[in-house]
Amino acid sequence: MDPDFPESSPSQASRALSKKKGKKSSAILERRTEREETKKPFRILVTPTQAAPFLMPAIPSGIEHAHRLKVALKLSLACGTFLDTKFYAFSRRRVGGGVDKPVGIYASSSLLRAASPYFEGLLSSGFDESKIVNIDGDDLASHLLYSEDYGYDSDSDLEDEELPDSSGGNIELNSDETLPGTPAEHSHSTAPPRPKIRFERPGRIVHIPNAAHATFQALIYYLCTDDITFRPLKSSSKSPTPTHGTGSTNPLGYPCSPKSMYILADLLGIDPLKEQCKREIQNHLEPQNIVPELFSRFTSRYPSIRDMEIDHLLRHRQNTTVQDSLPVWIEAITSGALPYCTETLNVLIPRLLRGS
């Protein structure tokens, strides 16, 4: 199920009633409230080969966010390094379950360390995560190319795998794959092979097991520029909202799901970004989608989102769309078809009875 496109119609809730009571969907996530996560969300990929002095020095403390990018650029002119960290994050959701296609994202460790206490701990020297390697190497261990334990396989910032077209259409291939009989396999060229040039750039490589490439790329851009660009909720008819920390717009950012970014910002403890995501979700609520959004798995994980959406529902409780869909969803929850919504319903019912 898509976190930005929850059960979006009463008919879908009605179909859920046909499931036997107690049967749980394989996509149901383990419930967690804000800041309950204690494990480090990222893990280092490889072992050290060079010393840390090759990397950018840290940005001095006390530098305001608006000036950090300029300071980092100034530091890079002296040390010859700007992008010294490479993150790999999964980009595709497989049809049979799990995620794959990790894609690299380059970043400046100095900017990240100055922007977030989490990255200061992750990338500073003295920790296992601070191993120095050649970040231009393209060899990933096979066990890091695919995961069945992504934790949120319905993440809408993941692209969907394309199945082969039985009618003879295009077949999606990895970059190192070719179809049998193509010129790459049967080349008659007599020219000698061109030597491969391997660059050696020291830095850190970090594997991201539980955030989509699109989400993490948008996070890096936000930490460097204070800009964030959101995609609209798929259940909403409204337009997307590019935003800036000071209120201006930025059409050049990397668009991401506000729900996916909320999850990541909560995991990393970036409260200002969480609040922007929450406001964006709220801006896209309307009578047509408030009920399915309220009873989504995403909302069930975050009490602050749940309470905000309950407030919105109560303001529109006289709307006929809300009145028509709410009883269907309540029946589905009480029948046991949607067990993750039980707590949400327990909070909603007393407020409906009070009318506030």
Establish if 323 belongs to a structural domain. Answer: no
Establish if 253 belongs to a structural domain. Answer: yes
Q: What is the pLDDT of residue 26?
A: 28
pLDDT in tens, 64-79: 777 888 888 888 888 7
Contact 6, 295 (CB under 8 A): yes
Residue 333's CB is within 10 A of a number of other CB atoms, namely: 21
Cα separation, 89 vs 69, in Å, equals: 24
Q: What is the pLDDT of residue 117?
A: 87
Mean pLDDT of 211-234: 93
Backbone CA torsion sign across 294, 298, 301, 307: negative
Mean pLDDT of 90-119: 90
- SS3 assignment, position 237: coil
Report the chain's mean pLDDT, rounded to a whole number.
76
Establish if 95 belongs to a structural domain. Answer: yes
pLDDT in tens, 122-146: 887 655 445 778 888 766 778 788 8
Count structural domains, the chain.
Answer: 1
Establish if 143 belongs to a structural domain. Answer: yes
> Is the predicted pLDDT of residue 340 greater than 80, yes or no?
yes
Q: Which residues contact residue 131 at a Cβ distance below 8 angstroms, ignoring those fewer than 6 apart?
A: 44, 46, 47, 48, 204
pLDDT in tens, 224-269: 888 999 999 988 877 655 554 443 445 678 999 999 999 999 999 9
Kindly list the distances between the CA atom of residue 332 and the CA atoms of 190, 294, 302, 315, in Å, as whole numbers in the listed order.
68, 14, 21, 23
Establish if 307 belongs to a structural domain. Answer: no
Q: What is the pLDDT of residue 273?
A: 95
pLDDT in tens, 273-332: 999 999 999 999 999 999 999 999 999 999 999 999 999 999 999 999 999 999 999 999
Cα separation, 19 vs 195, in Å, equals: 60
Residue 72 domain boundaries: 25-161+200-285
Q: What is the pLDDT of residue 324?
A: 96
Establish if 98 belongs to a structural domain. Answer: yes
The token pair at 176 is 């190192």
Q: What is the pLDDT of residue 199?
A: 63
Task: Look up residue 325 and give its amino acid.
Answer: S
Establish if 55 belongs to a structural domain. Answer: yes
Q: When comparing pLDDT for 32 and 192, which is higher?
A: 192
Contact 322, 291 (CB under 8 A): yes
Establish if 273 belongs to a structural domain. Answer: yes
Write out 7-61 in H/E/C secondary structure: CCCHHHHHHHCCCCCCCCCCCCCCCCCCCCCCCCCCEECCCCCCCHHHCCCCCCC
CATH number at residue 30: 3.30.710.10
